[in-house]
Amino acid sequence: MADYYEILQVHPKADAEAIRAAYERLRERYDPARLEGAADELVELARRRRDEIERAYQVLSDPRRRAEYDQQLKEQVQPSLPVPEVKADTLPVGEMDDDLIDFRPLPPARRQERPPGFNPQPYLSPRSKQATMTRGRVVQRQQPAWLLPSLVVAAATFSIVLGTLISTAVVAPPPAAPTTVATIVPPTPTLREILDQFEGQVIAARQVTDQVPDNPNAWINLGNALFDSVVYVREQLTNGNAEAQQIYQERLPRWLEAVDAYRKALELQPGNDVIRADIAASLCYYGLDTNNPQQAAEGLSEAEKALQAAPQNARVLLSHGICLVAVDPPQTERAIQQWQLVLSIPGVAPGLQLQAQILIDEYSQ
């Protein structure tokens, strides 16, 4: 059974206005005119995607059909299972108040893989809800009342254990032969599991922009979430992952969604050259992977503006190099020089240096 909420990228509790806005945004994103000149396979995928969006909207925009669909979805998840009695504090997100979801934007991955076990949408219980969003500003959490006493008890316990170990070390008998202890290795998350985490970040970032549309940081975080969710899949293509290839083809338009989010932020912060560089990288990745030289040329133009204003900024240099290899003909030698500059700038974030080195190795062959 298709998940229409996932197709429209809305929360199951979204109101009619939010569903309508998501539908119009996605319908425009998959407009055939935006894919002019792209490969036939991409055009066909976009057509199927538009059909899914239309079907989802037809159901979710009709209150009666939506109620029937919600019931079917609920029965599919828990078919004929008795409803267990649970405490209010342990109810999962969505069964209580939406205010209990932590809607604050998560720190962007910035083109790096999230660690295993990453939680994209932390849940706040009624007692531990400690952060609120006011006019785009996050109020810092206060430490819970039990934290300080717990630390004192933990410190005392540690001192007692340490003293016992020291006092018995001198008279301790010779150590016995070591025994083999089985090491439990946590399972490696699958591609789908990691992508689900990215999707949670995108949904949370969209909710923040809905709440504070005049906050540039909210739009930056949304652009970063969209960028990270698609660039991660792109990086998996080098491993010959067939599933990643299919997913990436479906998510190619997300580059343009990231561009739209970054442009919103740039309207609110016209002098932010890093945002302009992120616009450039998103356009150039899209142009490069859809064989669309016009998008790549537009991205290079944005990158040149950012480079002129911030010639020593590592993010700007990285994006400018990406655009140099995306245009036709590619300017590979100049791009490598830009990425080498990233490695030579003191204090550059390790993630940016790693990305620059990967690009140098890829295009130096």
Task: Indicate the pLDDT class of residue 301, thresholds 50, 70 and 90.
Answer: very high
Residue 185: its pLDDT value, please? 60
SS3 at position 153: helix
Report the CATH number of the 271-365 domain: 1.25.40
Say what angle helices 63-77 and 40-60 make with each other, to 10 degrees.
100
- Please determine, for residue 53, whether its predicted confidence score (pLDDT) is greater than 50: yes
Residue 177: its pLDDT value, please? 53
Task: Indicate the pLDDT class of residue 169, thresholds 50, 70 and 90.
Answer: very low
Contact 278, 319 (CB under 8 A): yes
Residue 190: its pLDDT value, please? 80
* Percentage, residues of the chain above pLDDT 70: 67
Mean pLDDT score, 167-183: 52
E strands of 135-251, at which residues?
137-138
- For the stretch 193-244, pLDDT in tens is 888 888 888 998 988 998 898 999 999 999 999 999 888 888 888 777 788 8
Question: Nearest CA to 214 among 265, 271, 138, 270?
Answer: 265
Mean pLDDT score, 149-177: 49
Nearest 5°: CA angle at 335, between 334 and 338?
90
**What top-level class would CATH report for the domain 4-77?**
mainly alpha
Which helix (H) or strand (E) segment holds residue 134: the answer is: strand 133-134
- Please determine, for residue 93, whether its predicted confidence score (pLDDT) is greater than 50: no
pTM (two decimals): 0.55
Question: Nearest CA to 124 among 145, 104, 149?
Answer: 104
Domain residue ranges of the chain, discontinuous segments joined by +: 4-77, 109-118+192-270, 271-365
- For the stretch 338-362, pLDDT in tens is 999 999 888 888 888 888 898 898 8
Radius of gyration of the chain (CA): 25
Lowest mean pLDDT, pick from 32-46, 204-218, 302-316: 32-46
